[in-house]
Structure 1
Amino acid sequence: MTTCKAFIPFGDDAQVQTIDQLTVENDPARVSVYGRLDITHDRAGLDNARALAALLNAVVTRLEAEPALPEHAQIAPKTHPMTNPFA
């Protein structure tokens, strides 16, 4: 697992962590997980599984600590204005 500092879910900084080929991006509104992670039947697989479990446990702990957690987050898609090339 690549780590520069402690991963704080939903923190103000845009942290990115990787576990093998799995990428976890941090944002105040969301934690995005994408890529591929093979958990093999060996020490490396155990290390990957532990890293993933620790990261997800941190996310769950943070969410459980929020007293006013909404049913669904109001998150707008991240877009930017573009001119229509076909107009």
Structure 2
Amino acid sequence: MTAFNPFGPDAQVQTIEQMTVENDPARVSVYGRLDITHDRAGLDNARALAAVLNAVVARLEAESVLPEHAQTAPKTHPMSNPFA
């Protein structure tokens, strides 16, 4: 598994079973389903998830200044309704 570079300049996608982690410069999105079972496969899944989340936390903690809330919607410009 390649190293996950949170908030990096290049888009990156990593999957663990049915869970997807998408990366871009503004956000890290996690979605899907991940079962962590009580066996060796569950341990592997837990370690993979922990590695991704630890990388995200480390990157955020390394920032000297973080805004209270990041912009969640993309910047757009006003548009007239073509169906009106």
TM-score, normalisation: structure 2: 0.86
CA gap of 1:53–1:84, structure 2 versus 1, over 3 A, is same
Q: Which residue of 1 aligns with 2:32?
A: 35
Aligned equivalent of 2:71, options 71, 74, 81: 74
* Alpha-carbon separation, structure 1, partners of 2:63 and 2:75: 24
Gaps of 5+ in 2: none
Identity, % of aligned positions: 86
Q: Which residue of 2 aligns with 1:26?
A: 23
CA RMSD of aligned residues (A): 2.1
TM-score, normalisation: structure 1: 0.83
SS in 2 for 1:17: strand
Gaps of 5+ in 1: none
Alignment of 1:1-87 (within 5 A): 3=1, 5-77=2-74, 86-87=83-84
Further displaced range: 67-76 or 47-56: 67-76
* Alpha-carbon separation, structure 2, partners of 1:82 and 1:16: 32
